[in-house]
A and B are shown apart, each in its own frame.
Chain A
Amino acid sequence: GAGVSQSPSNKVTEKGKDVELRCDPISGHTALYWYRQRLGQGLEFLIYFQGNSAPDKSGLPSDRFSAERTGESVSTLTIQRTQQEDSAVYLCASSWTSGGSQFFGPGTRLTVL
């Protein structure tokens, strides 16, 4: 596609359930990033993938959060046993190379009841 796509656009779940968020980066982009943005707040780095290198997981807030990426394509962010404080917009971005300009997807708005 022409841009980064994310699905679902909205997700409402109950506390304690697991959720899986998907990101399709721009074709050819080797780097992929996940961010969390709480209402009215800035962008909080979660995890970064670059090619076949080990991902930088330094931003993951707890072991309930994990992410995978298949080659240089789709990535999924999984949140286990969701908590109300996980409610936020989860943004995915990709770039041609590490450190390059990032192109963001529209985000997934997660609401944990």
Chain B
Amino acid sequence: QQPVQSPQAVILREGEDAVINCSSSKALYSVHWYRQKHGEAPVFLMILLKGGEQKGHEKISASFNEKKQQSSLYLTASQLSYSGTYFCGTMNYGGSQGNLIFGKGTKLSVKP
């Protein structure tokens, strides 16, 4: 079951904050976050396991709410380099032990 990401797109000014959400209709075992810049391959940001929260980058953090079956990615004091499409990938209980199902992505544009 593909997770749902929101918003689909967001435009920020440098220094502003943003939140990207990822929701699943099934119980989540883990959530991965990736960023893809235009014309490039996705790059791993962080992984969240059940009951945990892990910061992968200085001003980019995430939370994982097992009960609500959702994760949120927080981008603080955004920089131009944060621009790109953010994907969450989820691993569900009972699913294949290893493969991720990715959401459709959230396009983030940071303007000067």
Using CB atoms and an 8 Å cutoff, list the residues of chain A in contact with chain B.
Answer: 31, 33, 35, 41-45, 48, 50, 56, 58-59, 91, 93, 98-107
Return the chain A residue nearest B43 by Cβ. A104
Roughly how many angstroms separate A28 CA and B41 CA in the complex, as a whole number?
Answer: 21
The 5 closest A-B pairs by CB, nearest first: A98-B98, A104-B41, A43-B102, A48-B99, A42-B104
Return the chain A residue nearest B29 by Cβ. A99
Q: Which residues 29-64 in B have Cβ within 8 Å of A in the complex?
A: 29-30, 32, 34, 40-44, 47
Using CB atoms and an 8 Å cutoff, list the residues of chain B in contact with chain A.
Answer: 29-30, 32, 34, 40-44, 47, 87, 89, 91, 96-105
- Min CB gap A29→B, angstroms: 12
Q: Cβ of B98 and Cβ of A31 under 8 Å apart?
A: yes
Knowing A91-B41, A102-B32, A104-B43, say if A45 contacts B99 (CB, 8 Å): yes
Q: Cβ of B42 and Cβ of A43 under 8 Å apart?
A: yes
Partner of A48, one of B34, B87, B96, B104: B96
Instruction: Return chain A residues, CB-CB under 8 Å to B47.
Output: 100-101
Partner of A105, one of B29, B30, B41, B87: B41
Roughly how many angstroms separate A58 CA and B32 CA in the complex, as a whole number?
Answer: 20
- Min CB gap B64→A, angstroms: 14
Instruction: Return chain A residues, CB-CB under 8 Å to B41.
Output: 91, 104-107
Instruction: Return chain B residues, CB-CB under 8 Å to A107.
Output: 41
- Min CB gap A38→B, angstroms: 11
For the complex with contacts A44-B102, A59-B99, A105-B41, 16 further pairs of A-B residues with Cβ separation under 8 Å are A33-B98, A33-B99, A42-B103, A42-B105, A43-B42, A43-B89, A45-B101, A45-B102, A48-B96, A50-B98, A56-B99, A100-B47, A101-B32, A102-B89, A104-B41, A106-B41
